[in-house]
Homo-oligomer: A and B are copies of this chain.
Amino acid sequence: MDRADCTALDADDPLAGRRAAFALPAGLCYLDGNSLGAQPHVVEHEWREGLIRSWNDAGWVDLPARVAQRLAPLVGADADEIAVGDSTSVALFKALGAARRLRPDRHVLLTEATNFPTDVHVAGGLAAALGDLEVRAVEPARLREALDDEVAVLFATEVDYRSGARHDAAALTRAAHDAGAVMVWDLAHSTGAIEVDLHRWDADLAVGCSYKYLNGGPGAPAYLYAARRWHEVLDPPVRGWFGHAAPFTFDVVWQPAAGAGRFVTGTPHVLSTAALETALEAFEGVTPALLDAKARSLTATFVTLVDERCGGEVALTSPRQAAARGAQVSLRHASAYALTQALIDRGVIGDHRPPDLVRFGFAPLYVRHVDVFDAVEVLADLLATGDWDRPEFHRRQTVT
């Protein structure tokens, strides 16, 4: 496979034109959209001139609802099933707390032992606060056999943040329901990257992140999905005035807003949410199926090129079948940290996950097949020359 093959793939890519929406610095292969999406061109706001009047005049008060409207088709949901706001961790706390109350007779929160740490922390905090819950964490492959009649809620992350392995979401949701449990999905590494279809999966609740593949900006607000069938009975543990049916009546008696809107708590983070609204414009008319096809093509191209050019110097830790992984590929290398720093130095931006993984994300809207080719060229060269093995790459202090 050569660069011309990649150019040809780009020429056939129905999403090729979307790259123009992003302000990508020249000369970079940005393969870290799974950590932080690229910046769309325009981020504006109405704070300076409109001041408090912008709540009305610029529609700030409807901003989360407008974002929900744009987000809904990307996850197979209706807009009133989505609440935008908070960090993903806080949204997960709300989702788990509300889900738990749908099965008050059961006392186990079941999840993956390899889940993203915050998911396990959130569940542990909820269990410690409530006192009548325990967290059961098992290997992903053993979730089904752990689904017994004590399990109130199964919560899992569809795409593993390290390996990129992807659950069969519809099948696992069905298994949870068959066992009488409520299913909560963490879609942090799915939304905007691969096909998400909450209605088809029959999911109960879900949370997702908007600063990765949705390109909402660093720390952009999360979203929470609440299936319509639960709208009448869901009781969020964290209530607040923006989740009230009529916030500006200043009523101290709690009257939850209709639908998922009751999961909103405080005043929306307008600057962050406005950036997300702009970012979602780049997804206008993009179907989840298109995202999925592009992600599979990009990751397959990457795997093929690594196989062909990296001579066994790195080991694929992601599933080899494209359908079994997200928009992400991780490679194992004994000096993964230094290798990641050397790649960044040459303009190929992925990230390191301890202890020994180099992780690459392939955002379908702005990564091209030629970027994949160029990235593997750099990787192959570093591995062949050993140029990654310099003191400055081993020593560099980073946190992310």
Residues of A whose CB lies within 8 Å of any CB of B are 23, 25, 28, 30, 32, 35-36, 38-39, 43, 45, 47-49, 51-56, 60-61, 85-90, 93, 97, 101, 113, 115-118, 120-122, 124-126, 128-131, 137, 211, 217-222, 235-244, 247-252, 254, 265-273, 275, 344, 349, 351, 353-354, 397-400
Contact = CB atoms under 8 A, between A and B. Distances in A.
A351 B121 CA distance: 41
A61 B400 contact: yes
A49 B36 CA distance: 12
B235 A128 contact: yes
Nearest to A93: B238
A241 B121 CA distance: 7
A266 B116 CA distance: 12
Q: Count identical subunits in the complex.
A: 2
B238 A90 contact: yes
B272 A399 contact: no
A115 to B, nearest CB: 7
Contact of A265 (B90, B272, B351): B90
Given A39-B47, A272-B272, 19 more contacts: A51-B349, A52-B351, A56-B399, A61-B399, A86-B90, A116-B250, A120-B252, A121-B243, A122-B239, A125-B236, A126-B238, A128-B237, A129-B130, A130-B130, A217-B271, A218-B267, A219-B271, A220-B271, A221-B269
Contacts of A400: 52, 55-56, 61, 248
Given A52-B32, A52-B349, A219 B47 contact: no
Contacts of A30: 51
A399 B85 CA distance: 19
Given A38-B51, A248-B400, A87 B218 contact: no
Given A117-B252, A121-B244, A217-B270, A25 B49 contact: yes
A23 B39 contact: no
Chain B CB within 10 Å — which of A28, A45, A86, A137 has the most?
A86
